[in-house]
Amino acid sequence: MAFVAKGRFFAGVATALLVMAGAAQAAPQCGNNSAGFPAWVEQFKQEAKSQGIGGRGLGALNNLTYSTKTIALDRNQKSFKYSLDKFMQVRGAQTIVSRGKALKTQNAALFASIEKRYGVPAGPIIAIWGMETGFGAVLGSQHTLSAVATLAYDCRRSDYFREQLYAALKLVDHGDLAPDARGALHGEIGQTQFMPANVLKYGVDGDGSGHIDMVRSKADALASTANFLVGHGWQRGAGYQPGEPSFGAIQGWNSATVYQQAIAIIGAQIDGK
């Protein structure tokens, strides 16, 4: 009996290894140009189905195209090479401060409720809002799922963007992202440009609609931004300039030093500090 049991054990292990090897062989292969993208999408559909993506998400994969604009941008991000002064000029810092102060006044109740709940004052949230989309005016025109899928297929950062693609498909399944949604060239979503996985992790239904609508609801987008900062170490009542306790949370928003500094400077000016 022991021999039979051991034989069955090794047979089971061998079968499992064969299944794993087959799965590895079937895994979608990355590429560096558009040639292999359609085949990659077809393979990814099977993988997504096996990982529990529902009908809405799977259906959304039928309308993907390879985004050459996304790849071009990903290869050539010049603005983060600027000095701080040049970056502030290019981003229109003074305009953001001026409009931001007016929007803080116009939406005083919303920002008060966000600060009460999360401990994040209006300034840095408005700075992010203004820098990312001009306060919701410029959300981008790229097909979101195509942008994320293109980068998931591309070999440079495929693992990171495969995670983002799965997150985007889950948002489609939840009814929180339209299959034909359009946004920025890396797949950023909504008024403060969240990556899909961050919508899943930090997204907040700020207006009580039952959905997290980062595009049409400023309450959702701004509350989610505050929640993101809290999730990255924001300390209630603490300063957020470089060297102060809450600056680390701003660093979590964007890896570029000039971007981090710009948020802190613009935010302080909006807050009157």
Active site residues: 132
Q: At residue 44, what is the residue type?
A: F
Give Cα separations from 136 to 125, 133, 233 (angstroms): 13, 5, 26
> Contact 189/147 with Cβ under 8 angstroms?
no
Bridge pairing between strands 142-143 and 182-183? antiparallel
Task: With H, G, I as helix, E, B as strand and everything else as coil, classify residue 206.
Answer: coil
Q: In whole angstroms, how far apart are CA 111 and each of 114, 189, 229?
A: 5, 21, 15
Dihedral of CA atoms 243, 194, 259, 154 in degrees, nearest 10, equals 120
Tokens of 166: 């799965």
| N-terminal to C-terminal alpha carbon distance within the chain | 79
Task: Kindly calculate the radius of gyration of the chain based on its CA atoms and give it in whole angstroms.
Answer: 22
**Centroid of chain to Cα 26:** 28
Q: What is the DSSP letter of 207?
A: T
For 231, residues 6+ apart whose C-beta sits below 8 A from its C-beta are 201, 202, 252
Instruction: Name residue, tokens 């929640």.
Output: 227
